[in-house]
Structure 1
Amino acid sequence: MLALDFVSTLRAGRGGLTDSLADPDALTAWARSRAELDLDPGFTATSEQWRQVVDLRLAVRALFARAVAPGPPSSADAARLPPFGQALDTVNAAALAVPTAPQLVWDDDAATLVRVPVGPSTATLSARLAQAALEFLAGPEVAELRACPAPRCVLYFVKEHPRQEWCSTGCGNRARAARHYRAHRGE
Structure 2
Amino acid sequence: MPEHNADALRFLQTRRSRPAKTLGLPVPDRATLRPLLTAAARTPDHGKLEPWRFIVIEQGAMARLASLAQQRGTALGLDPEQIAKGRNQYDQGNLAVAVIEVQKSSPKIPPLEQTYSVGAVCLALLNAALAAGWGANWLSGWPSHDREFMRQGFNLEDHERIAGLIHIGTETSEPPERPRPDIDGITTWVSD
TM range (shorter): under 0.3
* Normalised TM-score (structure 1): 0.26
More relative contact order, 1 or 2 (CA 8 Å, 6+ apart): 2
* Normalised TM-score (structure 2): 0.25
- Who wins on radius of gyration, i.e. which is larger? 1
